[in-house]
Amino acid sequence: MDRYRIPPDTTVDLAAFDPGDTAGLEEKEAKERVAALNRRLEGLQELLYAEGKHRVLVVLQATDTGGKDGVIRHVFDGVNPQGVKVASFGRPTEKALAHDYLWRVHPHTPGSGEMVIFNRSHYEDVLVVRVHGLVPEGVWSRRYAQINAWERLLAEEGTTILKFFLHISPEEQAERLAARRDDPAKRWKFSRGDLEERGRWSAYRAAYEEVLSRTSTPWAPWYVVPADRKWFRNLVVATTLVDALESLHMAYPDPGEDLTAVLIPPAG
């Protein structure tokens, strides 16, 4: 999946990334691969939890309807919720606004043996705040370096960080918004605010390009995931995550004593 990874110090032009890319795969084959990766991820997540040494942070960012919830639902299907948490970051509260912008984020980072998924993240503070002009440019523009330093702190303390931008086309977004509007079971997810945000498509695109260009680092890389085809989106994320976990070379902890001769007594 390295073809989707953004090397450090790269100037990103999203026009160079095809949101409909499927790497020549058919849907059936991709779904079969994802099913196998789900089983592998389930075992790796259990190993991560049992060993209790590593921490994994998965960051999901996308425009509206980009598929963050879908990735969580499909890629992490079957993993033990005891060791996986999801943190979502919407509009900050008054209390959060009284602190620095990372104050509300840091408590949700993973502890040893944990995997945490950020459904939106600290990057909202260089995306939404920029597009809507919520803070001056002099404020949000210095946050790229601050975020890089904060993520480096997490990495040096033992956190593996994987960041995914789910890249969809405006045409695909239009279809997904229409599907939400027309399906009674999905209508609750539809918001007129999504239409207003769609009107800022070019501004968000420029904001994302700068995020990808300035914050993809060796310790916290960004992946631009083609997301027009949900089944391929899931394959890219699942493959990248499994590869990253396998690279940790985890092992179950040694119980510290020979248990082969231990007998299980009858229940009393």
Is residue 252 included in any domain, yes or no? no
- Structural domain including 184 reads 2-246
DSSP state of 5: B
Instruction: List Cβ<8 Å contacts ≥24 apart for 196-203.
Output: 197/63, 197/64, 198/64, 198/170, 198/173, 198/174, 200/131, 201/63, 201/170, 203/130, 203/131
Is residue 266 a part of any domain in this protein? no
pLDDT of residue 85: 95
Q: What is the mean pLDDT of the chain?
A: 95
With a cut of 80, say whether residue 108 has pLDDT above it: yes
Q: Is residue 216 part of a domain?
A: yes
Using CA atoms, how far apart are residues 118 and 86, in angstroms rounded to an integer? 6
Q: Is 16 helix (H, G, I), strand (E, B) or coil?
A: helix
- Per-residue pLDDT, 157: 96
The pLDDT of residue 69: 95
**Residues pairing with 162 in the sheet:** 58
Q: Which residue has the higher pLDDT, 4 or 267?
A: 4
Query: Tell me: the pLDDT tens digits for 149-190?
Result: 999 999 999 999 999 999 999 999 999 999 999 999 888 888
Q: Which residues contact 53 (CB under 8 A, 6 or more apart)?
A: 112, 113, 158, 250
Q: Does residue 254 belong to any structural domain of this protein?
A: no
Token reading at 34 = 């994802």
CATH no. for residue 11?
3.40.50.300
159 close to 243: Cβ distance less than 8 angstroms:
no
Runs of H (alpha helix) within 157-200: 170-182, 192-198
Q: 116 in a domain, yes or no?
A: yes
Work out how many domains the chain is built from and give that number.
1
Query: Residue 260 half-sphere exposure, CB side, CA atoms within 13 Å?
Result: 1
Q: Model confidence at 84, in pLDDT bands (50, 70, 90)?
A: very high
Q: Tell me whether residue 185 is in a domain.
A: yes
Token pair for residue 245? Answer: 């976990």
Q: Cβ atoms within 10 A of the Cβ of 110, count? A: 24
Res 99: pLDDT: 97
Give the tens place of pLDDT for each residue, 220-264: 999 999 999 999 999 999 999 999 999 999 999 987 788 787 888
As a whole number of angstroms, the distance between CA 126 and CA 98 comes to 18
Q: Is residue 219 part of a domain?
A: yes
**pTM for this one?**
0.94
Q: Which residue bears the tokens 């976990």?
A: 245
Looking at the chain, the whole-number percentage of residues with pLDDT higher than 90 is 86
Residue given tokens 């059936």 in the structure block: 28
Condensed to tens digits (0 to 9), the pLDDT of residues 180-222 reads 999 998 888 888 888 999 999 999 999 999 999 999 999 999 9
Q: Would 267 be classed as within a structural domain? A: no
Residue 30 — φ and ψ, nearest 5°? -60, -40
